[in-house]
Structure 1
Amino acid sequence: MTPTYNATKETSEGTRSTSKTRTKMKRRTEESPITEISQIWQKSGTCPEGTVPVRRIRKRELLKAHSIEDYGRKKASFSQPQNLDSSVQQKNHSKAILFTLGHRYLGGKGDIRVFNPYVETDDEYSTSQVSLINGAYNDYELIEAGWAVNPSVYGDRQTRLFAYWTVDGSIKTGCFDLTCPGFVQTSNEIALGAAFHLKSVPGDLTYQITIYIYKDTYTNKWWLQYNEEKNIGYWPPELFSAMKSNAESVEWGGEVYSTRVGTSPHTGTQMGSGQFPGPLFYACGAVTRMRIHDNYPSLKSPAYVQTFTDEYFCYDARYVGDYVEDPEFYYGGPGRNPMCP
């Protein structure tokens, strides 16, 4: 059954109200560079002014969590890169990312290809996102957004728009979308947690979304913008300590969670499209038009970046920066395969 959305009047900042909404995605083809489609739930109606959409959480979704307190939260991971030459191995998490360090970051942006990767079990997930991070590798603050296939949160294997935050490496805080107090929804046109109406097949028509997370230096709110059209909402500064000021790093790429990461047999949960990057770059996960906002007054391409992957035989990462006008990042993989048994 497709999740439904309630509509109630928006009250004050921080109040979670609900509604039906519409959002857009772009697909690029040679004949039609941009084709707009709606999220699946929009078939049931639209959202009136003065309301915001919140996905209704059903009992069957709560039952998939280890506890009510754990619902909507990532399992703790220790993954923040400490410099451009190293990163800390994660427990039960596998990443293939591009990251940048060395500045006070006030924003990060990227165009992310959207797919519907295979997720093997209900307690696993696959995400692709833009992330901003500050803090020690085992106690970091993070905000991120992108797309996810996450049965334990959404109750199915559809690809959905998500946002996430934590202030302690997901040990005790943080959640997806609006499943806990934190992110403040302001848009009546975009639904966090809503499924995309897409059918992405490697080598066929490909869809993408644009994610931009940036800080309002006057209010210190971290805003989430979708598809360069409207802000979805913001993370209030009261949530954070270090991130009140700035982020220390920006990441682009994919993540897989499974208790069978780093073990044999490895999980078969896919990242990106499920294809390794190259030689057919059009068929794999990708982030293009990567931008940062540091002390420079406007967005710019990051000057220094590096790829990182926990398990390059399972999920790989490739950065194409030479001889191209705008660098591109490719990532993903099938998980379990002959090289990753």
Structure 2
Amino acid sequence: MGKRFWTKNGLGYNDKVILLAMVFMILMDGVVDGESLIKQKLLEVNKRLKLLNRPAVKSIQSEDGEIIDCIDLFKQPAFDHPMLKNHTIQMKPTYDPPTMRTTKQESSTKLVSQVWRRSGSCPQGTIPIRRIRKINILKANSLEDYGRKRSPASSRASSSTRTMRGASQTNHFNQKANQSVAILLTEGYNYIGAKGDINVWNPYVESDDEYTTAQICIKDGPYYDFESIESGWTVNPGVYGDRRTRFFSYWTVTDASKKTGCFDLLCPGFVQTSNEIALGSAIEPISVTAGPQYHIALTIFKDPYTRNWWLQMGNDIKIGYWPPDIFSGLSHIASSVEWGGQVYSTNVRKIPHTSTAMGSGEFPAFMYGSACYIGHIRILDYSLTWKYPSWVYPLADEYNCYNAFSWIEDTEPTLYFGGPGRSFKCP
């Protein structure tokens, strides 16, 4: 452990290295008063930490080294949002979507759990929040960007082959700069919910400024200024400081993450009600090739009466909700839903390509026990009945690097997706 050199809330060895690098860059830029700028930066970081790390009713030291703070339900970050100053918490939805029959494949997999729960639990009336470390914020490009996806601005329109229930057709869609996806898309209707069982893996991430996800995403708006609600698992060292697989939620409003939105509770917006789930916390066990398979069962649905978008894990844990007040189009309905994977890197669609993997790191052709999958895919509309989408399209904008296809087994469609990134097929 490096010697600490700062005061009360001092920095460790890694922080010192970062600050020395900051000094070097400042001197290289010809700035004379570098020390003042560093002090100003630290003041801003400490101010942000104070907003993120609220006074705790109880703190839990997890066996994986993280600290989970149990925060008073009514003092959570959500209520710093200007639209939620007078918000009344809805502790449970007025409508509970029906559960679904377990399939043969699902019965052979197991649900994961969060590591911190082995070390304790938060009391009723509180919510668990993962404590943010100073080093994570110092590594961010800017305080404003910390916790937000890098905006996937459109790079160009491209052609890709879509497969729809075994038939092929050519579709034009917009690739996003620095982002590669392999997904199942449905669009064209009014959606108020989506669900799926997401197979859990721990794919390789090459660089600290890259990330990979497996998720469900509900969207509204054009590709360049969309709103979205997302949840699943991710390996994201830039936000979490390591390469562990973590459960996450995400949202953005009207600008496709250019200046709004964040992971988990890193900005005000999501109202958490559960004392059982810590957003952003590590999950285990992880699936093993040709071995045990594990998944998280996720549901996102709109309460038809309050219009809150609820996030649910399993059949009964209502984690919390996104209020309609923070959205525009999504305050009413969603116009598309996506299931699948996403990789962010400045080296997608380049040679050499990033070796950051998606899913399990295997192509979908390897299927169950090797490739990552999402089963029990369903959407919800105003009939309030879960159904498989009438029209779905597997899409992959770098099919030699990451791919996706839908496979029907035992009458239940399953999306397989993923890939290794850089390989002999993807130089």
Q: TM-score, normalised by structure 2?
A: 0.73
Which one of the candidate residues 302, 316, 335 is aligned to 2:403? 316
Task: State the alpha-carbon separation in 1 of the partners of residues 227 and 266 from structure 2.
Answer: 18
Q: Deviation of residue 77 (structure 1)?
A: 1.4
Which one of the candidate residues 175, 182, 187 is aligned to 2:262? 175
Q: Deviation of residue 34 (structure 1)?
A: 5.8
Are the structure 2 counterparts of residues 279 and 7 from structure 1 closer, same or farther at C-alpha, using a change threshold of 3 Å? closer
Residues 186-225 of structure 1: pairs in structure 2 closer than 5 A: 186-225=273-312
Are the structure 2 counterparts of residues 320 and 199 from structure 1 closer, same or farther at C-alpha, using a change threshold of 3 Å? closer
Amino acid at match of 1:325: T
Bigger Rg, which one = 2
Unaligned runs of 5+ in 2: 1-63, 81-102, 163-170
Task: State the alpha-carbon separation in 1 of the partners of residues 286 and 330 from structure 2.
Answer: 37
Partner of 1:21: none
Larger RCO: Structure 1 or Structure 2 (Cα < 8 Å, ≥ 6 residues apart)? 1
Partner of 2:5: none
1:37-64 deviation digits (Å, cap 9, x = unpaired): 5321123211111100111110111122
Task: State the alpha-carbon separation in 1 of the partners of residues 123 and 108 from structure 2.
Answer: 31
Partner of 1:57: 132
Moved over 6 A (4+): none
Q: Is residue 2:360 matched to residue 1:273?
A: yes
Which one of the candidate residues 288, 296, 299 is aligned to 2:383? 296
Q: Is residue 2:95 matched to residue 1:8?
A: no
Which one of the candidate residues 219, 223, 228 is aligned to 1:133? 219
Amino acid at match of 1:304: W
8 Å contact 1:161–1:193 — kept in the other structure? yes
Q: Is residue 2:337 matched to residue 1:250?
A: yes
Are the structure 2 counterparts of residues 261 and 319 from structure 1 closer, same or farther at C-alpha, using a change threshold of 3 Å? same
Amino acid at match of 1:290: I
8 Å contact 1:97–1:253 — kept in the other structure? yes
8 Å contact 1:116–1:158 — kept in the other structure? yes
Partner of 1:70: 145
Task: State the alpha-carbon separation in 2 of the partners of residues 29 and 327 from structure 1.
Answer: 12
8 Å contact 1:78–1:88 — kept in the other structure? no
8 Å contact 2:111–2:297 — kept in the other structure? no
Q: Is residue 2:194 matched to residue 1:112?
A: no
Task: State the alpha-carbon separation in 1 of the partners of residues 226 and 286 from structure 2.
Answer: 35
Q: TM-score, normalised by structure 1?
A: 0.91
The percentage of counterpart residues that share the same residue type is 50
Are the structure 2 counterparts of residues 223 and 36 from structure 1 closer, same or farther at C-alpha, using a change threshold of 3 Å? closer
Q: Deviation of residue 8 (structure 1)?
A: 2.8
Q: Deviation of residue 326 (structure 1)?
A: 1.1
Partner of 1:165: 251
After alignment, is 201-210 or 129-138 more displaced?
A: 201-210
Task: State the alpha-carbon separation in 1 of the partners of residues 405 and 112 from structure 2.
Answer: 30
Partner of 1:332: 418
Amino acid at match of 2:268: P
Count of equivalent residues? 327
8 Å contact 1:29–1:205 — kept in the other structure? no
Task: State the alpha-carbon separation in 2 of the partners of residues 36 and 332 from structure 1.
Answer: 21
